[in-house]
Amino acid sequence: MISHKKMKFYGLRDLDNIPQLQNLSADQRFAIKVVSSVLPFRVNNYIIEELIDWDNVPEDPIFQLTFMQKEMLSDDQFRRMAFTLSNNHTFEEIQSAAEDIRLELNPHPAGQMTLNVPLMFDEPVKGVQHKYRETVLIFPSSGQTCHSYCTFCFRWAQFVGMNDLKFATDEAKSFQDYLAANKGVTDLLLTGGDPMIMSARNLAAYIEPFLESEFEHIRNIRIGTKSVAYWPYKFVTDKDADDTLRLFERVVNSGKHLAIMGHYNHWKELSTDVAQEAIRRIRSTGAQIRTQSPLVKNVNDSPDVWARMWKEQVKLGCIPYYFFVERNTGAKNYFSIPLYKAYQIYREAYQELSGLSRTVRGPSMSALPGKVSIEGVTQINGEKVFVLTLLQARNPEWVKKPFFAKYSEKATWLTDLRPAFGRDKFFYQDELNQMIRANNGQFYFNRSEDYEMIENTSFDADE
Ligand SMILES: *Cc1c(COP(=O)(O)O)cnc(C)c1O
Ligand code: SF4
């Protein structure tokens, strides 16, 4: 029997109330406070009590995943914030120091969020991203926080209020009209934040309309969530756990595929009884669980961790799906791992698996043209190259067409790569530029600087 756990969040102001933290040195605790004054911190009692091995802190991967580390800020940024905190600061002074550092970390907080927003009657459809033909992303307005914040998360700007959620769905639910009108869309992906932070009743209000006949073209409903790792009680003992499962059953019984896109970073997140019971109960509704994770320094940057995680997932009936390269925003210097390393880790882990786990694809970068995967490293005509493909692309014709970049041990993202064999651009580049210029409803740029960012062909803007 798994007993009920009452959810308790800990934020910046509660750091001193986490008894387990008292074993750290005063310096270590102060460092956490300094960084958490800039980047969003939230952890819950399940993670503290059941996932983190406090005898192994600070190395513990789940501690690294949820508690800020000193090196996430540059020395200079850290010093500025530490100084502000130690010197009889006012609340306003702290806020203003935090704001300055945040802008250094992410000068275009709204940029990522405004790309790929479709237009309807010349108006952006609120809370929707439509990048790939088949799949529409929905960002429910009440699902824009999480059960805990991941230290690496590129969405941190929204958690600290830098882009004030203008991205989320509106009251009028215009996303429904957009989807009713777009019969070519087959997949709906609810994302966030974490949509499973919503009550079963709120979640149902987003999902159930799509079970009606005008949405017959929507075959697959996906929910992107970290709740199965961060708060599995949601599916087991929370008071709306049964209602949540009944909602899942209604989707499945309506004849649609329901996929829980479970975000897991480490096998430890699968190791507790409640984590396994959550998976069992979700699967009992007929929903599938597909799993995905980015490669994160000090959390899962070794092949053994991935191999063990994927094997465990398959044993529990989950389907490994994507292995992501973490995009370079926020504390990028802390987290970045060179692409050649990402490929090595992926390949060495993959070699350990039986075919049932080899459904996992990657290492994949969600970049401007699409999801770019590193397929290999090889020599062609004496030149060492990365072999790349697009797993998913703005133009479906680009998908799975091999292309080549000069090998580099420094590159950490697509924008660091240069075409091999003396070419000056990748095969999709001209067409991509045209698409962007045409601005034909597939792309929506909210502010002229977003557009410039792209025109400069620095292609900094992801997704
Ligand atoms: C990954 C992704 C999807 C889903 O792609 P699949 O390959 O179908 O899983 C949809 N939209 C965006 C913006 C994505 O990044
Ligand atoms: S759960 Fe997802 S959205 Fe939330 S902080 Fe982690 S990675 Fe970001």
How does pLDDT run across 49-104, given as a tens digit for each residue?
A: 999 999 999 999 999 999 999 999 999 999 999 999 988 788 899 999 999 999 88
Query: Which structural domain range is residue 240 located in?
Result: 119-359
Q: Which of 412, 411, 394, 414 is nearest to 403 (CA)?
A: 414
Residues 87 and 127 in one domain: no
Whose CA is closest to atom 6 on ligand 2? 150
Does 318 lie in the same domain as 272? yes
In a shared domain, residues 88 and 130: no
Task: Tell me what pLDDT residue 448 has.
Answer: 34
Looking at the fold, whether 240 and 316 belong to one and the same domain comes out as yes
For a substitution probing ligand 1, which of 116, 137, 190, 324 has the most ligand atoms within 8 Å of its CB? 137
Residues 269 and 355 in one domain: yes
Contact 277, 236 (CB under 8 A): yes
Is 202 contained in some domain?
A: yes
Domain count, the chain: 2
In a domain, 236, yes or no: yes
pTM: 0.93
If residue 404 lies in a helix (H) or strand (E), which one and from where to where? strand 403-406
Is the residue at 15 inside a domain? yes
Q: Is the CB of 218 under 6 A from ligand 1?
A: no
Residue type, 369: P
User: What value does the mean pLDDT take over residues 397-406?
Assistant: 98
> Which of 304, 325, 359 is where one domain is finished?
359
Do residues 193 and 146 lie in contact, with contact meaning Cβ atoms separated by under 8 Å?
A: yes
What pLDDT is recorded for position 439? 58
Span of 110-114, 126-130, 258-262, 382-386 with lowest mean pLDDT: 110-114
Average pLDDT, the chain: 90
Per the domain annotation, does 418 fall within a domain?
Answer: no
**Tokens at residue 53, please?**
């091995």
Q: What is the pLDDT of residue 333?
A: 72
Residues 95 and 153 both lie in one domain:
no
Consecutive H or E run containing 137:
strand 135-138
What distance in angstroms lies between residue 193's CA and the mean position of ligand 2's atoms? 6
Residue that terminates a domain, selected from 70, 102, 134: 102
Return phi, psi of residue 25, to 5°.
Answer: -70, 160
Which pair of tokens denotes residue 325? 């390269």
What is the pLDDT averaged over residues 217-243? 98
> What is the DSSP pairing of strand 370-380 with strand 383-393?
antiparallel
Q: What is the mean pLDDT of residues 301-315?
A: 98
Q: Which residues pair with 261 in a beta bridge?
A: 224, 290
Determine contact, residues 39/331, Cβ cutoff 8 Å: yes
Is the confidence at residue 452, as pLDDT, over 60? no
CB 293 within 8 Å of CB 300: yes
Residue whose tokens read 């690294």: 64
**Residues paired with residue 384 on neighbouring β-strands, in sequence order:** 379
> Looking at the predicted structure, is the pLDDT value of residue 444 above 70?
no
Instruction: Give the pocket of ligand 2 (CB within 6 Å).
Output: 146, 149-150, 153, 155, 192-194, 226, 263
